[in-house]
Structure 1
């Protein structure tokens, strides 16, 4: 499931600022020198299979290299997926409403911080 966030999708942001904002919002990161993905993991306690859901916010390099603080990244559309062991993550599903609502709250939190802290 993709989320439309016009406030930052496609914007160029300083990597160090973005990394600080995402860590403060509770996201973990995986990166290489050209891209980074921030993940927020949900576990649905009511789900008897106990599969995890991942809310992902990706960005690609615009200038420099990750993880240098001076690097600039451009934001891509956030998306939500459900992990099925051992097959991987599926993105075309109907997700629990509480998870979608929590993702929207996280997006609002991130967008507010980006607007307040980052000029691009």
Structure 2
């Protein structure tokens, strides 16, 4: 499920600052990057299943591996994990209202913090 109208897709920021802010909200990059892309995930294990809030971005300039990249963020996704197949983001999925509200609050906080230093 795409989480529209957050404003996050309008933000461009330094990868090092993004890493700090995302981590403070439980969104981790870990090994999910290459030299031109990043993915931040937060895992939710709730009674309805396992879900992931995902924020992706791509490099506008610089190199993620060298920690000198400028990242353009993209529209966030909410997906449900199905073992062993992976994460589904489709419109046919059910995403609990309480989870959607939690994700929306996280995204609001991230946008506020990233906006303070975005370029």
Runs of 4+ with >3 A deviation:
none
Question: How far apart are the structure 2 equivalents of 1:62 and 1:86?
Answer: 34
Backbone CA RMSD of aligned residues: 1.4
- 1:8-27 equivalences under 5 Å are 8-27=8-27
Alignment equivalent of 2:45, drawn from 18, 43, 46: 43
| 1:7 aligns to 2:7 (yes or no) | yes
TM-score where L is the length of structure 1? 0.88
TM-score where L is the length of structure 2? 0.89
Structure 2 match to 1:32:
34
- 1:22-101 equivalences under 5 Å are 22-29=22-29, 30-44=32-46, 46-47=47-48, 51-92=49-90, 93-101=93-101
Question: How far apart are the structure 2 equivalents of 1:19 and 1:66?
Answer: 11
Question: How far apart are the structure 1 equivalents of 2:66 and 2:112?
Answer: 24
> Is the CA contact 2:19–2:28 (under 8 Å) kept in the aligned structure 1?
no
> Is the CA contact 1:15–1:68 (under 8 Å) kept in the aligned structure 2?
no
Gaps of 5+ in 2: none
Question: How far apart are the structure 2 equivalents of 1:59 and 1:3?
Answer: 15
Displacement after TM superposition at 1:22 (Å): 0.4
Q: How many residues align?
A: 115
